[in-house]
Structure 1
Amino acid sequence: MYPKLRDQLIQENLSNIAAQDSRLAAAVNGSGTKNPNFSIGQGTSSEANQWGKTWVGDGATKTSDGLGLISADGTRVYRPPTPKKSSFATTGVQANFETYNINPVTGQRSK
């Protein structure tokens, strides 16, 4: 029963995140391809930081480098806006909203 309830709670949480903004919905829903790298749109650094806090949720902690945030369950990471040379960073600045799966046996995370 626990795995089913856990999965249901995860889905409800993601639905609530997606309801906050269309860009967060794009992050939740993915690109529809196997490529995990895609644009979810543009915004200001302030907006990105607010969405990032919503993305990782209550109980988030800093990432090991101290710059980003990781959700309490370890499945979502937000990396704040930084200068980047990337086709996705059309303004030269990019924030990252990442999702991870956690292997229940090994505890290993995979993007």
Structure 2
Amino acid sequence: MILIEKLKPEIEAKQCAEVPSQLTLGELIGMLKDARSTKGDFNLGEGTAADADALAQEFLGPDYRSSSRDDSILISKDGLRQYRSPSAKDSPYATTGVQANYQSRNVPSGEWQNNGHLNILP
């Protein structure tokens, strides 16, 4: 319930700013659940860049940091989750040509074992 209350003002603020194709609160919560629990490579669906950033805030948690190799990559405080902001992708899975990635691993260093893809709407 805390997550719902925390996301509600962001969703309402984005709706007021007339950001197109907003995800519903329920859709964001479902994507967050999938991003945190699904293993391997997986599809999270579609959303706007603003949706991707709002989801990333919740996925990473407080006190996240930028990657030392790329400022557009954000890493959770515990090093177990990573968000790669929307970028152009040449892949048959990138249905819109742009994706954001939500990655996780079991230990705070090494390869990312899980990678969720959110296709970004124009």
- Alignment RMSD (CA, Å): 1.8
Other-structure match for 2:32: 24
Determine helix, strand or coil for the equivalent of 1:28: helix
Other-structure match for 1:68: 73
1:100 aligns with 2:108: no
Aligned residues: 85
Q: In structure 1, how many angstroms separate the alpha carbons of the residues matched to 2:56 and 2:109?
A: 23
Other-structure match for 2:95: 90
Q: Deviations over 1:39-66 (max 9, x none)?
A: 0111000000111111111010001211
State TM-score, norm by structure 1: 0.69
CA contact (8 A) 2:35 2:44 kept: yes
Q: Deviations over 1:15-47 (max 9, x none)?
A: xxxx8611111112215xxxx221011100000
State TM-score, norm by structure 2: 0.63
Q: In structure 1, how many angstroms separate the alpha carbons of the residues matched to 2:88 and 2:76?
A: 24
1:77 aligns with 2:82: yes
Q: Percent identity?
A: 35
Measured after TM superposition, the shift of residue 86 of structure 1 is: 1.6
CA contact (8 A) 1:38 1:88 kept: no
CA contact (8 A) 2:79 2:109 kept: no
- Which aligned runs of 4 or more in structure 1 are off by greater than 3 angstroms? none
CA contact (8 A) 1:69 1:78 kept: yes
Which is strand-richer, 1 or 2?
A: 2
Measured after TM superposition, the shift of residue 93 of structure 1 is: 0.4
